A and B are shown apart, each in its own frame.
Chain A
């Protein structure tokens, strides 16, 4: 369904919602168009094209917010949406009030960031790029057996929100991603896999040579990897690994998590929780980000802010409900996930330090560089901050990257790690994360326990 037809339907739905007995109500509509190709063995093995839309309604009755969603968007759905949302209101007994919001000065926002470059995303341009990339990967090294996975995809995602208080705002986004992974066999018969990704807005910005350098490092760099002796190692998280590590615990910075007693950061705003070396900002309209987010899914303007400022916990992320409970304003971090709204970050930036990546390794001298963490959905206790994760990387020997290591685990506690950060590099990368991207350099985090088996 196109935005114009959705808009007409939503206005009708919101009016019907008010007449049905909701004190306030809101409709939001998201539609996604996407296209992707997979390359396997010199041909386009798979092509996908899609158009999906979904409409979500929420209504307030006696302080309770009932939700219902559907993708059948026609007049026959109005009764279903209103009736189901009202039924949901009737069983809820959430003690914390919820809100439908409208800022009189910012109630009719329109922010489009889909560029003309999106038209270049065609089957032809993707297949040419993909086939060239597969060939180039296979030519990188004789030990590479196959490119198991190579996919290029693009999508657009318009979002429209209309409510009974007069809010009527629109934003959209688009993006392209290229992901590839390959498998290589070592002289002793052991198999390694590794890959790389690229994200952008214009397929012409894809730099093949730059991609291949990183790809080679991520696959061929691992050849000969084996476990290492257990012990305590001075540890550097490579940018990608620091992103994985930090974001898995980031829910602890959400006000709702704190208010539910599920975050050890509750009541610690304004206190020192991390090393002076660590500053993390949220910049929703960050100029280097592919996706800029002017307002959240509740219609609240997003704002630039420090979350950790030189080690001090500057602010948690709030949506309308958690902000009200805390007696303050929303930080514009209310985003829809499934059938409700909760806090999510937009673009997060770990502030770069002065040292280069090589400089960090020199500072460490002898230690370990972790490049990839596995099992993040299971090997962490998000509440206590304890983690024990399968990982891989390299030994750091004489201040330089040494031999590759695998089949090791790194264990520790998130809150201890952020306190013990020694240095932050300046080798920033960006990774899609939350509602936007996560920008981070490599980080020397002090010493951590490594389990390994030096007989291997």
Chain B
């Protein structure tokens, strides 16, 4: 990492023309991973990545330059190019650098980087061996552990001098059941900012069994129907719909340029009155948490929706300039090769009052999605789509046969208003979110909820 005088030289070079703000982001990331397929260790890798990004702002005009070469002369040259490209009116000021503020949301007993790959392999074998001996229908078992340590230093012309370290580890288990020409999978992929103790404590056999059961159930299932119907979305990863259909439309990335259906709607009713939601980056040890964002701001617990009323947007520095409001500590990037922007962290619908059994009992006919796949949304139109990995029909208030191949589609702004029951079993689930500033670890979450009507795209009419 740079010393303060090198940083100052870069800032001075960057601010030598008409930028009103300059920022240096330097990052060092180490990674380590192991993957098993059908009991064989097929991949073991180690990587080291580091680089520096320099960002200049002049009003809402931005310039970003980056290099994997951290040599001071290389960066001074890039800063000079950036300064020549920025289009502002006046020369900005550089404030005195504050004392370094080092933070971390990682809560670690055993550092995953200090655990040998052999120990990773021994743990993964438990899952692999169990799955391959579970049932003749289970034909493949894949699993892996990936750990990273990332240290980011952020320095800017307002005197910010921050350093944040995150250590993350993620386990993945996937089992595949085969029947005739049909293959279906069951998977879990928990992630955490806790240490290797998370892996040691993980109920790996129980979870591998769940994966096998899902795969077997789905390979035996018939196709989902095609129709509009009430849909119950299970807790945990069911929150991916809220993440895609609402969360992205609350980011300054789209609101700031008025390319979101939630633009200019603060304090308006955007969801059913039984819906409240938060984006909370400060939960200790949670996969999507961080202490300091990639602009050097302290992370926050932000109330997004309260009883259906929109209370806050997710705002970064550049978005704040466009929206005339302050950043909320949510600016993130995959690494130095991306300029930062507003992103989610741990985003979830808060607990409601219904018991899950009542939600099911109150549904005469519908689809109960217990495991969601991924999805996407167009924040300008609200069009979203989600794949369902495991689902059951609900008939006469009871869970009926499993069905496969369902996709849920609709408009994000409509689905939020159609949530008519919210459960009390909130759960968070780890994932990766891809957007303009790259892939960042997030959690999605919700209690079990019911939406009165969603178009289910299946194959049976």
Task: Point out residues on A near B: beta carbons under 8 Å.
Answer: 1, 40, 43-54, 66-72, 77, 80, 84-85, 87-95, 123, 146, 148, 183, 190-193, 227, 230-231, 260-262, 264, 338-340, 374-375, 377-381, 383-384, 386, 388-390, 406-412, 449, 451-453
Contacts and interface: CB of A to CB of B under 8 A. Distances in A.
B46 A378 contact: no
A407 B85 contact: no
B283 interface: no
B387 A379 contact: yes
A91 B117 contact: yes
Contacts of A451: 226-227, 455-458
A48 B333 CA distance: 15
A193 B409 contact: no
10 contacts: A69-B48, A71-B68, A84-B46, A89-B44, A262-B176, A378-B385, A388-B458, A388-B459, A409-B409, A449-B226
Contact of B386 (A54, A91, A191, A375): A375
A183 B81 CA distance: 33
Interface in B362-398: 373-376, 378, 380-387
B361 interface: no
A80 B176 CA distance: 37
B131 to A, nearest CB: 14
Contacts of B257: 40, 146, 148
Interface string B111-152: 000000110110000000000000000011000000000000
B209 interface: no
A92 B228 contact: no
A1 B41 contact: no
A30 to B, nearest CB: 11
A66 to B, nearest CB: 7
Interface string B25-56: 00000000110011011111111111100000
Interface string B226-267: 111000000000000000000000000000011101000000
Given A93-B41, A148-B257, A70 B69 contact: no
B407 A66 contact: no
A378 B68 contact: no
Nearest to B436: A149
A339 B47 contact: yes
A70 B411 CA distance: 44
B67 interface: yes
B405 A339 contact: no
A44 B65 contact: no
Contacts of B140: 260-262
A1 to B, nearest CB: 7
Interface stretch (B97-105, B181-189, B272-280, B290-298): B181-189
B410 interface: yes
Contact of A406 (B40, B373, B383): B383
Contacts of A374: 376, 378, 383, 385
Nearest to B56: A47
Contacts of B185: 383
B199 interface: no
Nearest to A339: B45
Interface string B169-185: 00000001010011111
A379 B385 contact: yes
Given A261-B139, A378-B374, A449 B387 contact: no
